[in-house]
Amino acid sequence: MPIPPASRPFSPSSYRYPGEHLILGLTLGLVLVVIAATATATVCGSVLFVGLMVVMAYSTTRAHHGALMARATAVTPETAPSLWALAQASAARLGPEPVQIYVAPNASLNAYTFGLSSPKVVVLNSALLQALDADEVAFVLSHELGHVRLGHTWLNSLVGGLAGIPSPAAAFAVLHLAFMWWNRACEHSADRAGLLATANANKAISALAQVEARDAEAGSQWAEALATHPLMARRIAELRQYAASAEYRRLATTTA
């Protein structure tokens, strides 16, 4: 089995990317500043706006889930026993809340997670299962479960909605950049989760190189600033550095 057994799940605070919470706090702080500084900033209006964002996020995820169920295959012990076993082993290492895993017919090498309420949903595009080997799939799956365990899944829906608060163009640009910054920090955290769950740095890096190959053409820091994911070269470099760190070795040893 690609994922080693563990006696207990990792604590998310032990591998979260440095600065992720700080960046999130700055983003939320900017949202509050924009609310306070614009014409939308009555107390009642602000509360109504936040409530509306929650309702819209919930409705969107429910609609997405319904559409997904109509075209995707749920991963169960009967439909995909090998993938189900990988998911169970990864969950034992990371300890996420309940999730539903689907394989969607899609030619893009991509995977994602969504949901506000439990269970969260992890989607693997079918092309991933054809292009990656079992160890690489294990990393991608563990990466997505890492997002769930770290709280990114529901926060992404809420913070993304708040970052779109009606505001002057300059304020909107600042909020958007801050939100993208936080998203990129989340990707580094989830990469660490994937590596800790699978304990195979070479396969983690080869999986990233294939899944993130679409980012190679962007190739500049300016393009990265507008993206939800770090550039592939930076992401792989960060993961290599973490895999070589004493912190990673300590966690991998004490939890194995």
Residue 4 lies in a domain: no
Whether the pLDDT of residue 216 is over 60: the answer is no
Cα separation, 158 vs 56, in Å, equals 9
**DSSP structure string for 23-36:** HHHHHHHHHHHHHH
* Tokens of residue 77, six digits: 């012990």
Cα separation, 162 vs 152, in Å, equals 15
Residue 85 lies in a domain: yes
Residue 97 DSSP label: P
Contacts of 106 (CB under 8 A, 6+ apart): 125, 126, 127
Residue 98 lies in a domain: yes
Q: Name the domain count of the chain.
A: 1
Residue 86 lies in a domain: yes
Task: Give the burial string for 76-92 (b: 16+ CB within 10 Å, else e).
Answer: eeeebeebbbbbebbbb
- Return the higher-pLDDT residue of 159 and 79: 79
Domain region containing 28: 12-255
Residue 78 lies in a domain: yes
Residue 223 lies in a domain: yes
Is residue 110 within 8 Å of 55, Cβ to Cβ? no
> For residue range 25-38, what is the model confidence (pLDDT) as tens digits?
888 887 777 766 66
Say what the pLDDT of residue 218 is.
47
Residue type, 229: H
Residue 93 lies in a domain: yes
Residue 26 lies in a domain: yes
Q: By mean pLDDT, which of 18-22, 229-233, 235-239 is the weakest?
A: 229-233
